[in-house]
Amino acid sequence: MPHPSDKIASLIGSRICHDLISPVGAVANGLELLELSGLPKSPEFSLVAESAGHASARIQYFRLAFGDAEPGQVVSGHAVAEILGAVYEAGRVVIDWQARGDFARPDIKAVLLALMCVEQALVAGGRIVVARDGPRWHIRAEADRLSPDPALWDLLRGAPGPEAIPPAAVQFLLLPHVLGERNARIDFQATHFNVEIRF
């Protein structure tokens, strides 16, 4: 029986992330061994170490957001918060992860896609709050200036959208499919004063 295209896409995401995490991890381990051997920590060494750590965190992030997610799999909210902290550590966006506990991996996949959606409105940086109220997730962008792209946000309503979707906006195509598989209702606001996704 043929697999649906979104399932194939998630398997491709898992495969790419799986194959990349090993060599990136090997670089980080090699740097740690060099440091333990007494090699002085030069600016160049620190730059490579920081880059390897950031790459590892981003691959883990992408694996959760774009990889395959089976209902029986569970992800620690604390682990997700740590990954997000490493990804956004030196950027203009601050993540305030308020959800506590362990969660089904499909939930986390949807949350991270929604997080990417609200991040699109933070053109000059800001804060993203991820919270859970009972069974419902709330992902909100906060900043002095919000600039959501209406053409992209219309995709969450099922509108056709622009002919060419940039790769950086693929989350707007994926989120409705991921939530549709769970029969979850998506509510959102995207204005210059409020950008929030709830499901």
Lowest pLDDT segment from 17-26, 110-119, 120-129:
17-26
User: Is the model's pLDDT at 153 over the cut of 90?
Assistant: yes
Mean pLDDT of 31-36: 83
Residue 114 and residue 140: Cα distance in Å, rounded? 9
Sign, Cα dihedral of 35, 41, 44, 48? positive
Find, among 144, 155, 114, the residue nearest to 132 by Cα. 114
Higher-confidence residue of 48 and 66: namely: 66
Q: What's residue 27's pLDDT?
A: 84
Contact 13, 66 (CB under 8 A): yes
Q: Which amino acid is at 166?
A: P
- What mean pLDDT value characterizes the chain? 90
